[in-house]
């Protein structure tokens, strides 16, 4: 009998789930096309129910039965007709149930769409992990979802990159600065630091020295770097503008510098924050006003 360490360990979904949770790479497919198609089917059902209800309403209002003709004006007659409501009431109940299902589906779709998308780097890592033994994965999937066998590409392949949601914590806000640091800057840093860093151990192998070719950097440390650089950049422009404006004597040149620094401040706001355009406009207007007040009240000796 094989010993406990020699027995085969579960691969596939169990191994991928463990990797996603431990490495903060929980990524799943949205299935937006299927979700929208389902909304269209619900919409079609409601349209048919609406047509049937309107048609039945016209039949009832032109009925020879005096109570039936009152359905559109007296709810009690509509609800309790023939002991349990007529066909018009049954259609109304079907519409009520279908509307709740339809509105619930819309709300769920909106909630999923509001979730962040994973970076291409994270998605590519998950895709490579499911296929590559050197990364510790090699999950050997056989189904249409993750086998990556033609004509069924993996849900993590490049063609599905815009239909994914990320269920973890990104290191920093989703702005240009954060994307640059976790993208090109981190790759350049890894090239220099790789020889001094230990790769990620293989979750499946229990023996010593069982490592993969995958390297991981702390999301917490990356988040600190992003926030620190963002804070530094947010203070550099105002400080430099004050120093430069104080050292310039010419008022026309000062006004020109105010315009230049306002443009630089606007660009910095766009790059290091997720502020909306109206918020950037308000911040730049306030910054320019402060500069104008400064140059109008400050005179060099």
d(CA 238, CA 289): 12
If asked whether residues 38 and 145 sit together in one domain, one would say no
If asked whether residues 140 and 283 sit together in one domain, one would say no
Q: Identify the residue with better confidence: 294 or 176.
A: 294
Please count the structural domains in the chain.
3
Instruction: Tell whether 89 is covered by a domain.
Output: yes
If asked whether residues 271 and 134 sit together in one domain, one would say no
Instruction: Tell whether 6 is covered by a domain.
Output: no
If asked whether residues 40 and 89 sit together in one domain, one would say yes
Kindly tell me if the per-residue pLDDT of 15 is higher than 50: yes
Among the candidates 87, 113, 139, a domain finishes at 113
By C-alpha distance, which of 16, 3, 1, 19 is closest to 207?
Answer: 3
Q: What Å distances lie between residue 185 and 37, 55, 204, 269, 297, CA to CA?
A: 40, 65, 31, 20, 42
Give the residue numbers spanning the domain of 273.
219-297
Kindly tell me if the per-residue pLDDT of 216 is higher than 70: no
Q: pLDDT per residue over 84-116, tens digit each?
A: 567 888 898 899 999 999 999 999 999 999 888
Among the candidates 84, 113, 142, a domain finishes at 113
If asked whether residues 101 and 247 sit together in one domain, one would say no
Instruction: Tell whether 39 is covered by a domain.
Output: yes
Q: Identify the residue with better confidence: 52 or 191.
A: 52
If asked whether residues 186 and 77 sit together in one domain, one would say no
Least confident range of 55-69, 125-139, 197-211, 280-294: 197-211
Summary mean pLDDT of the chain: 78
Instruction: Tell whether 211 is covered by a domain.
Output: no
Average pLDDT over residues 245-266: 85
Q: Identify the residue with better confidence: 276 or 263.
A: 263
Instruction: Tell whether 182 is covered by a domain.
Output: yes
If asked whether residues 16 and 134 sit together in one domain, one would say yes
Q: What Å distances lie between residue 101 and 31, 46, 108, 111, 203, CA to CA?
A: 18, 10, 10, 15, 42
When pLDDT is cut at 50, 70 and 90, the band that residue 210 belongs to is: low
If asked whether residues 167 and 94 sit together in one domain, one would say no
Instruction: Tell whether 164 is covered by a domain.
Output: yes
DSSP secondary structure letter of residue 8: P
Instruction: Tell whether 237 is covered by a domain.
Output: yes
If asked whether residues 16 and 87 sit together in one domain, one would say no
What are the structure tokens assigned to 182, written together? 């976790």
Report the 10 Å Cβ neighbour count for 108.
Answer: 13
Query: Distance of alpha carbon 289 from its chain centroid, rounded?
Result: 36
| Model pTM score | 0.63
Q: Identify the residue with better confidence: 83 or 238.
A: 238
If asked whether residues 18 and 135 sit together in one domain, one would say yes
Q: Identify the residue with better confidence: 128 or 212.
A: 128
Instruction: Tell whether 212 is covered by a domain.
Output: no
**pLDDT at residue 52 in the model:** 94
Q: What Å distances lie between residue 161 and 29, 108, 157, 164, 230, CA to CA?
A: 9, 21, 7, 6, 28
E-strand spans in the chain? Answer: 27-29, 164-166
If asked whether residues 101 and 143 sit together in one domain, one would say no
If asked whether residues 20 and 52 sit together in one domain, one would say no
Q: Which of 41-50, 61-70, 137-146 has the highest mean pLDDT?
A: 41-50
CB 66, CB 74: distance < 8 Å: no
User: What is the percent of the chain where pLDDT is above 90?
Assistant: 15
Do the strands 27-29 and 164-166 form a parallel or antiparallel pair, or are they unpaired?
antiparallel
Among the candidates 196, 231, 262, a domain finishes at 196
């Amino acid at each position: 009998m094989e010993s406990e360490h020699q027995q085969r360990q579960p691969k596939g979904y169990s191994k991928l789930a463990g990797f996603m949770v431990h490495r903060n790479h929980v990524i799943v497919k949205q299935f937006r096309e299927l979700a929208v198609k389902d909304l269209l089917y619900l919409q079609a059902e409601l349209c048919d129910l609406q047509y049937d209800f309107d048609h039945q309403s016209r039949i009832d209002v032109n009925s020879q039965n005096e109570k039936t003709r009152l359905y559109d004006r007296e709810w009690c007659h509509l609800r309790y007709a023939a002991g349990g409501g007529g066909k018009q009431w049954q259609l109304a109940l079907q519409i009520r149930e279908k509307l709740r299902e339809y509105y619930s589906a819309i709300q769920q779709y909106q909630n999923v769409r509001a979730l962040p998308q994973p970076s291409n780097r994270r998605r590519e890592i998950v895709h490579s992990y499911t296929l590559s033994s050197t990364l510790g994965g090699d999950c050997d999937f056989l189904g249409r979802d993750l086998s990556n066998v033609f004509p069924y590409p993996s849900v993590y392949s490049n063609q599905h990159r815009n239909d994914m949601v990320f269920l973890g914590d990104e290191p920093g806000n989703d702005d240009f600065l954060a994307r640059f640091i976790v993208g090109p800057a981190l790759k350049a840093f890894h090239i220099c630091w790789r020889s001094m860093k230990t790769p990620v151990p293989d979750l499946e192998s229990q023996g010593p020295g069982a490592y993969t070719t995958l390297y991981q950097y702390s999301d917490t440390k990356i988040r600190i770097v992003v926030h620190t650089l963002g804070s530094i950049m947010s203070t550099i422009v105002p400080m430099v503008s004050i120093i430069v404006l104080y050292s310039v004597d010419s008022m026309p040149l000062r006004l020109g510098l105010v315009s230049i620094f306002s443009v630089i401040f606007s660009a910095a706001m766009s790059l290091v924050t997720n502020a909306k355009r109206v918020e950037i406009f308000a911040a730049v207007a306030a910054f320019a006003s402060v500069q104008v007040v400064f140059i109008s009240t400050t005179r060099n000796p």
